[in-house]
Amino acid sequence: MNEILLAEFSSPKALLKAAEVLSDCGYSKYDVYSPFPIHGMDDAMKLKHSKLGWIVLCGGSVGLLTGFCLQTWVSLHYPLIISGKPFFSYPAFVPVTFELMVLFSAFSAVFGMFALNKLPQHYNPLFKSAYFRKATSHGFFIGLDSTEKGYDREKLRELLGTIGVNHIEIIEDSE
Amino acid sequence: MATSIENTVQVKRPDLVVPGETFESVTEIVSRPMEMKLPSWWLIVFCVAVSGVLLLKSMIAYLIWEGIGIWGLNNPVGWGYAIVNFVFWVGIGHAGTLISAILFLFRQKWRTAINRFAEAMTIFAVICAGIFPGIHIGRQWLAYWLFPIPNSMGMWPNFKSPLLWDVFAVSTYFTVSLMFWYVGLVPDLATMRDRAKSKVRQMIYGVFSLGWRGSNRHWQNYEKAYLLLAALATPLVLSVHSIVSFDFAVSQLPGWHTTIFPPYFVAGAIFSGFAMVVTLMVLARQLFNLKSLVTIGHLERMNKIILLTGMLVGYAYGMEFFMAWYSGYQYETFAFINRASGPYAWAYWIMVSCNVISPQLFWFKKCRTSIPIMFIISIFVNIGMWFERFVITVTSLHRDFLPSSWGYYSPTWVDVCTFVGSFGLFFTLFLLFLRFLPSISISEIKNVMPEADPHYGEEH
């Protein structure tokens, strides 16, 4: 049976320090939970940059092409004579092309973010802990996964003790 | 390091949150309106607002049954209240995205106290706006012709028309604003889920918070998504009202056919939107006791933006007259002299006094920080900006090139009741928002508190 060691810290400062220590000790599968993003935490956890920008770039390009091609095709396929303007009036296609680029980019930013975060995810072993409910209001937590190589409950308790942990809880994951 | 402090000048920024509040107390303050006993004033105002919705619905039903003839439109004034109200509501809807996107990119931290509120206002205002073009088309059951939907007639819309650009601009704006708002809400909905005392609340907030748990691996992508959405929404918000102004500017009519329209409309939209935010915020912070998060400092900053955009609008009014004279084009000159001294001069001067003269009081700090004065001025601005759209639409149409085709437009009771009803819809949605969703962004406001800085308390 897997388990998660949940450690609570008192402030963003203590949490950042703890993440730095854990990274330096070679842990990489742990996660940090806080009510708001903490400046510098990505570096402390040694996370790679988010891939979201590339997803949005693709989404935006698709939107741009869709908008322009749709208007070109419609204007040639269903020719309307408007004040003698050419059917392929590309300057007039700019507003709709722009709007569709923004729309597709925004969709890929939002749904791409949810996909990268694997949300929605209504089950998580952490939700079993009543104590963890503070994480969305004023609690600062670190969760260490027992599947990580070198996970040793007692050793971790000792290590976390030296960096000012407030409270430790073991959560069992039955899945 | 502490010894060198004598040589440095310490500039203290005003507090964004009243000192003494903690992370926990901020959660408490924002959650209170959702967890307190339903106040009786809420119920009373809600009933009034819902009767407004019923009024709106019955006016629309009557319109569809009877036809556009029940409105005051005539020849030459073929655009009346429907367009005026559409532009009025879309304009109000601009403040939300401005606050959430543009102020975010400029790192204006004070936005965190008002952005959720303003975004909600945006969405509800755009809903009200969207109704009017939908119902003014005459045969409302053919409204889907506005969209490029493949149909058995093989018929497609005209992509060279600004009216069609508007369909895309407004629907994109609504969709993006809604997503932006929802993304911002997810962490706060998780807070509400974790505070929920009843099973039903926990379920509902739980479903919509998607299992958010404040993980830093999530925050990393989340912050990136938020930044990208802000960067996308910034040009979007500028494009929407520009395209709305093209509806007028691309035509040949004197009074409409000017290149100043896009920036002038955008400035006016921000102006009216901020006025509406001030109107609503002054009431909400009082009624729900949010004063330690939305301070006088926040309101003062908004009043400064009202002063600035009010003067931009005033400049545009002046520049329109200058161009009418400088162009030497007699129809344009006439359109503007007629605007200020013709049959609709009353509307023109209401507009100028509300939009240009009344915000000048904000030059004085005493007025910028006085709740009653800012409330009254914000109401004046709301009125003035409605009249601006009335003046642009109606005065330009009612007397154009040929005196034989001149006319006068007055609304009918149906026009007025539809407009009043749209306020009912707006306030119904707003009251539901205040009661069931966090009206201040809990996670963002914590982020700008000094305690949130991991180096808090260290000497520099």
Contact A6, A169 (CB under 8 A): yes
Provide the number of structural domains found in chain B: 1
Nearby residues of B157 by Cβ (< 8 Å), 6 or more positions away: A74, B145, B146, B147, B148, B164
Domain chopping of chain A, boundaries: 2-47+122-173, 52-116
In a domain, B206, yes or no: no
User: What's the gap in Å between the CA of A165 and the closest CA on chain B?
Assistant: 16
Average pLDDT (A153-159) is 86
pLDDT of residue B77: 93
Would you call B336 an interface residue with chain A, using a CB distance cutoff of 8 Å?
Answer: no
Would you call A121 an interface residue with chain B, using a CB distance cutoff of 8 Å?
Answer: yes
In a domain, B444, yes or no: yes
Q: Which residue of B has its CA nearest to A69?
A: B159
In a domain, B458, yes or no: no
Give chain A positions within 8 Å (CB) of B179.
106-107, 110
pLDDT of residue B396: 93
Burial bucket for residue B152 (CB in 10 Å: 0-12, 13-18, 19+):
exposed
Would you call A64 an interface residue with chain B, using a CB distance cutoff of 8 Å?
Answer: no
Q: Do A113 and B183 touch (CB under 8 A)?
A: yes
> Is residue A84 pLDDT above 50, yes or no?
yes
pLDDT of residue B1: 46
pLDDT of residue B89: 95
> Is residue A128 pLDDT above 90, yes or no?
no
Residues of chain B with pLDDT under 70: 1-11, 459-460
Q: Which residue of A has its CA nearest to B218?
A: A117
Give chain A positions within 8 Å (CB) of B206.
122
Strand positions, DSSP E, B220-298: none
Would you call B175 an interface residue with chain A, using a CB distance cutoff of 8 Å?
Answer: yes
Q: Which residue of A has its CA nearest to B150?
A: A74
CB atoms within 10 A of CB B49: 19
3 state DSSP class of A33:
strand
Distance, in Å, from the CA atom of A122 to the CA atom of A136, rounded to the nearest integer, reads 15
User: What's the gap in Å between the CA of B193 and the closest CA on chain A?
Assistant: 9
Q: Which residue of B has its CA nearest to A99?
A: B169
3 state DSSP class of B104:
helix
In a domain, B5, yes or no: no
> Is residue A173 pLDDT above 90, yes or no?
no
In a domain, B322, yes or no: yes
Cα angle A69, A73, A79; round to 5:
145
3 state DSSP class of B55:
helix
Give chain A positions within 8 Å (CB) of B453.
12, 39
The CATH number fitting domain A2-47+122-173, selected from 3.30.70, 3.40.1620, 3.40.50, 3.30.160: 3.30.70
Distance, in Å, from the CA atom of A96 to the CA atom of B211, rounded to the nearest integer, reads 36
Nearest neighbour of A109 by CB, restricted to B191, B225, B455: B225
pLDDT of residue B10: 65
Q: Do B213 and A124 touch (CB under 8 A)?
A: yes
pLDDT of residue A152: 83
Q: Which residue of B has its CA nearest to A37?
A: B219
Q: What is the DSSP string of A50-70?
A: PSHHHHHHHHHHHHHHHHHHH
Question: What percentage of chain A has pLDDT greater than the value 70?
Answer: 99
Nearest neighbour of B165 by CB, restricted to A16, A95, A112: A95
In a domain, B262, yes or no: yes
Q: Which helix (H) or strand (E) holds A32?
A: strand A31-33
- pLDDT (tens digit, 9 = 90+) per residue, B131-178? 999 999 889 999 889 899 988 888 999 999 999 999 999 999 999 999
Question: In the sheet that A167-173 helps form, which strands lie side by side, from edge to edge?
Answer: A31-33, A140-145, A2-9, A167-173
Would you call A120 an interface residue with chain B, using a CB distance cutoff of 8 Å?
Answer: yes
Give chain A positions within 8 Å (CB) of B176.
102-103, 106
Strand positions, DSSP E, A34-162: 140-145
User: What's the gap in Å between the CA of A114 and the closest CA on chain B?
Assistant: 8
Nearest neighbour of A136 by CB, restricted to B156, B165, B190: B190
In a domain, B333, yes or no: yes
Would you call A133 an interface residue with chain B, using a CB distance cutoff of 8 Å?
Answer: yes
Would you call B206 an interface residue with chain A, using a CB distance cutoff of 8 Å?
Answer: yes
Q: Which of A69, A118, A137, A145 to mutate to test the interface with B (most CBs of B within 10 A)?
A: A137
Q: Do A38 and B229 touch (CB under 8 A)?
A: no
Give the DSSP letter of residue B99: I
Contact B287, B41 (CB under 8 A): yes
3 state DSSP class of B212:
coil
Distance, in Å, from the CA atom of B416 to the CA atom of B413, rounded to the nearest integer, reads 5
Distance, in Å, from the CA atom of B276 to the CA atom of B206, rounded to the nearest integer, reads 32
Would you call A147 an interface residue with chain B, using a CB distance cutoff of 8 Å?
Answer: no
Contact B286, B339 (CB under 8 A): no
In a domain, B114, yes or no: yes
Query: What is the domain range of residue B297?
Result: 38-141+237-449
Would you call B239 an interface residue with chain A, using a CB distance cutoff of 8 Å?
Answer: yes
Taking only residues 24 to 43 of chain A, the set having a beta carbon closer than 8 angstroms to any beta carbon of chain B reads 31-42
Contact B255, B336 (CB under 8 A): yes
